[in-house]
Amino acid sequence: MKHKKLATATQAAALIPDGSSLLLFDGYEPMSLIRELLRQNRRRLTLYSCGPAFAASLLAACGAADHILAGCDSESCFIPGALHVSRAILNAQLAAAVNGGDHASVAVPERLLAKAPKLYREIPGIFDTGTQTAAAALHPDVAVVHAARADFYGNIQLDPSADMRDADTLRLAAAAKTVIVSAEQIVSDDAIRMNALRGLFDPNAVTCVVEAPYGAHPTAFATRYRADEELLREYEAQEDSAAFARQHLLSSPDQDSYLAGLGFERLISLTTNRRGEN
Amino acid sequence: MTTSNKKLISLKEAAALVPDGANISFGGFAETNNPLSFVREMIRAGKKHLEISGMGDAQSVELLCGAGAVDLVRVSNYMAKNGRCPNFCRCVEQGAIQTEDYSHFGITNRFFAAAMGIPFMPVKVMIGSDLCEIQNFDNGSKVMEFDDPFSGERCGIVPKLSPDFAVIHVARADAEGNCQLYGITSSIEIIARAAKNVIVTAEEIVDTEEIRRTNQFTVLPSFFVDHVVHCPFGAYPGGVFTYYDYDLEHLDLITRSGKSPETMTAYFDEWVYGTETEAAFFDKVGVRRLMDLRADPYSGVSLRNRRQFL
């Protein structure tokens, strides 16, 4: 019999104890779960951020993260306090873990060899190629992803209108020991079958699923709503980001109250596609 | 028909276009696709003496009768999800409104004649029943029995009916007024073609390119539409197939409130006059409640509403 995996945000956050390492993906940010982690006052997290995830900045600003390794290709998107590598290097490290290797042979800039010797090293080439550089496989404790649709059994999908080019990156979540998914909508397994080509993960790899409409707010969820630029700009402009976050992002006890606080009009004004359909 | 390309207007502006005493027709059938944001805005604006000609538009008429906004109704079987429409029934029983009783197909054919630009339509419905025998304010212009000049068969004719306004709720529209709807469409295309002015309220406003790309869902082309209003959840507490399901709890509240004028007034005070805008109304309903009513992409209705969210 198939096992139902529906959980509340509180239950899901309990799977991420202090000191965990957390894998995040830019553009698929489970902000409702991140808010729950901050409400529960998580500390000493290590973050692996595929892209410049706002969640990583927020967790760091609120004192929840000790270390951040971010795969960003543009300095303008760098996360304060993070060790930055290219997306290609971070993705290769996660892919190595998914494929059962202990490292990825990739070109690593010299500054990283000196800065993070536990992660990046020079190694002898095995095909008479002299030396080469290698990056250690990453095994995050937990991957957290915000997706469009999930059924009760952990089948996870993007919307029919989604660009599936991100799917390969999102599938790197399998590098983590635990995969937690928040979804815009819990749908029937018939709806999942109807949209079968949009699947993301093997449901056996998904630990639990949380329904979170507008769960990526204030960031965008490309097939349903745009980023809340006004709020993000205000956040960026603050000297004390943590105080701003406490007042505007964390003052509600749960996601329902958070959405009620934003209000119907604001949510609708951000919405670009109510159903994610073509 | 308006030819301006500035058809997109606010709900308040659209409601202001309908004068007291207008002959108006609403789209929607049973608990689906009723333009209830528009109806609530009409009530907030204090519309009076309306003449309503409709096809199964019970939800709209029930609220307007409760608000004392109606004088005349061409009715074709009004039922609520959970029984009678108490406000409409009370108005009829107390003589506060006049009614003319049609079958669904009979009134639809009156619209159809107007839509086709012809004076009447032959029908095989209503004749031989009290729907034909009893004629009130439409006496002489409701339905007439006659012999088919070709076969001699006994049939009826109904004259064209062209409302001043049709208010239609659809799933998607562009700013030009091209409209799309999924699932049953009832008689909305016919009512829109029959009416002198057409106001469309739409769940989503999309680009014209999007309408072109998915033109198989287009039910009304722009040249039938005079004004477009963006009304997300605009059929609530009814539903829109593939968008959201009806809210049975709120429909029950309206039916319970409708049992007496005092309780109905209390409903309006709290939910309609007490909310200055539709955004305020939906804040009161609650975003969570609206999210729970969202339709499953497969069935087109809410898993929670149909007790499949386990």
Contact A274 B243 (CB under 8 A): yes
Contact A277 B243 (CB under 8 A): no
Average pLDDT of chain A, as a whole number? 95
Asked if residue B106 is part of any domain, the answer here is no
Asked if residue B20 is part of any domain, the answer here is yes
Average pLDDT of chain B, as a whole number? 95
Are B90 and B184 in a shared domain? yes
Asked if residue B128 is part of any domain, the answer here is yes
Are B61 and B151 in a shared domain? no
The whole-number average pLDDT for the span A99-109 is 95
Considering only CB atoms, A194 lies closest to which of B204, B242, B297, namely B297
Tens-digit pLDDT profile for residues A161-181: 998 999 999 999 999 999 999
Here the CATH number for the domain that contains residue B298 is: 3.40.1080.10
pLDDT band at residue B208, thresholds of 50, 70 and 90?
very high
Q: Are A82 and A49 in contact (CB under 8 A)?
A: yes
pLDDT at A122 over 50: yes
Q: Model-level pTM? A: 0.94
Are B283 and B182 in a shared domain? yes
pLDDT at B4 over 60: no
Are B304 and B220 in a shared domain? yes
Asked if residue B113 is part of any domain, the answer here is no
pLDDT at A28 over 50: yes
pLDDT at B249: 95
Contact A275 B309 (CB under 8 A): no
pLDDT at B2 over 70: no
Asked if residue B289 is part of any domain, the answer here is yes
Are B276 and B132 in a shared domain? no
Contact A187 B204 (CB under 8 A): no
Q: Are A112 and A119 in contact (CB under 8 A)?
A: yes
Contact A195 B296 (CB under 8 A): no
Are B217 and B310 in a shared domain? yes
Those residues whose C-beta lies under 8 Å from the C-beta of residue A150, and which sit 6 or more positions away, are A156, A157, A181, A183, A185, A186, A187, A206, A209, A211
Tens-digit pLDDT profile for residues B136-145: 999 999 999 9
As a whole-number percent, the residues of chain A with pLDDT over 90 amount to: 92
CATH numbers and ranges of domains, chain A: 18-85+139-270 (3.40.1080.10)
Alpha-carbon distance A108 to A88, whole Å? 10
Bond preceding residue B261 cis, omega within 30 of 0 = no
The whole-number average pLDDT for the span B251-267 is 96
Alpha-carbon distance A147 to B33, whole Å? 29
pLDDT at B1: 45
Task: Identify the residue with better confidence: A131 or A3.
Answer: A131
Q: For every residue of chain B, which 3-state class applies, written as one string?
A: CCCCCCCECCHHHHHHCCCCCCEEEECCECCECCCHHHHHHHHHCCCCCEEEECCCCHHHHHHHHHCCCEEEEEECCCCECCECCHHHHHHHHCCCCEEEECCHHHHHHHHHHHHHCCCEEEECCCCCCHHHHCCCCCCCCCCEEEECCCCCCEEEEEECCCCCEEEEEEEEECCCCCEECCCCCCCHHHHHHHCCEEEEEEEEECCHHHHHHCHHHEEECHHHCCEEEECCCCCCCCEECCCECCCHHHHHHHHHHCCCHHHHHHHHHHHHCCCCCHHHHHHHHCHHHHHHCECCCCCCCCCCCCCCCC
Contact A263 B308 (CB under 8 A): no
pLDDT at A76: 86
Are B147 and B173 in a shared domain? no
Structure tokens at B172: 């998607």
pLDDT at B3: 45
Q: Which of A105-109, A245-249, B18-22 has the highest mean pLDDT?
A: B18-22
Are B237 and B269 in a shared domain? yes
Are B131 and B172 in a shared domain? no
Question: Which domain range does residue B280 map to?
Answer: 1-100+165-310
Task: Assess B209–A contact: CB distance below 8 Å, yes or no.
Answer: no
| Least Cα separation, residue B30 to chain A (angstroms) | 23
Domain count, chain B: 2
pLDDT band at residue A1, thresholds of 50, 70 and 90?
low
**Which chain A residues are closer than 8 Å to B310 by Cβ?**
4, 152
ipTM: 0.93
| Least Cα separation, residue A202 to chain B (angstroms) | 21
pLDDT band at residue A126, thresholds of 50, 70 and 90?
confident
Are B76 and B198 in a shared domain? yes
The whole-number average pLDDT for the span B205-232 is 96
pLDDT band at residue B6, thresholds of 50, 70 and 90?
confident
Are B207 and B245 in a shared domain? yes
Task: Assess B215–A contact: CB distance below 8 Å, yes or no.
Answer: no
pLDDT at A130: 87
Are B65 and B13 in a shared domain? yes
pLDDT at B194 over 70: yes
pLDDT at B93 over 80: yes
Asked if residue B237 is part of any domain, the answer here is yes
Alpha-carbon distance B64 to B47, whole Å? 9
pLDDT at B260 over 50: yes
pLDDT band at residue B5, thresholds of 50, 70 and 90?
low
Asked if residue B111 is part of any domain, the answer here is no
Asked if residue B258 is part of any domain, the answer here is yes
As a whole-number percent, the residues of chain B with pLDDT over 70 amount to: 98
